[in-house]
Amino acid sequence: NIMASGVIPQISAIFGPCAGGAVYSPALTDFIVMSKDTSYMFVTGPKVVKTVTGEEVTEEQLGGAVVHGSKSGVTSLIADNEEEGLLLIRKLLSYLPQNNLEDPPIAVCDDPIDRLDDSLNDIIPENPNKPYDIKNVIHSIVDYGEFLEIHRNYAQNVVVGFARFNGMPVG
């Protein structure tokens, strides 16, 4: 993992249990995809926690996809199931170069770069003290309105993700 860091994109898919020393490798990768209800990752399990602290926790509470996607921030993307997880990985890879010496892949795009979107006139309020959803702006200006949000449920005051402008991937 260390030698590949910054050289090739590293993506971990966790669709089942991942415990003990096996969790160190995914934690070092660039992106982690977990599936709801079937995957978890933790260094030590609920039985050890009960023995050491007396606290009873479930595998999901200790290291499930929702916990790592919303509280720890370890998980980049949460899928409903393994199939959706693989589709998310495929989508993520479509934005990334194969290594640090390549440019990201450019997609064919027939979404006009100069198109107008009147909804932008109303998304941002005139009063700068009023809030608005930046994701509405992003969806309005990127190719086909497609935006792959990373860490959707973590630190919701920040929006991170990938999109394209005229076929060119941007983050």
Q: End-to-end alpha-carbon separation of the chain, Å?
A: 23
Residues of the chain with pLDDT under 50: none
* Mean pLDDT, the chain, integer: 94
pLDDT of residue 70: 94
Helices (H) and strands (E) in the chain, counts: 7, 8
pLDDT of residue 44: 87
pLDDT, one tens digit per residue, over 111-152 is 998 889 998 888 888 899 999 999 999 999 999 999 999 999
DSSP assignment of 112-171: -TT---TTHHHHS-SSTTS---HHHHHHHHSGGG--EEESTTSSTTS-EEEEEETTEEE-
pLDDT of residue 135: 95
Output the CA–CA distances (angstroms, integers) from residue 168 to 80, 81, 139, 165, in the order listed.
29, 29, 15, 5
pLDDT of residue 113: 86
Residue 14's SS3 state is strand
pLDDT of residue 124: 86
Residue type, 58: T
Residue 15's SS3 state is coil
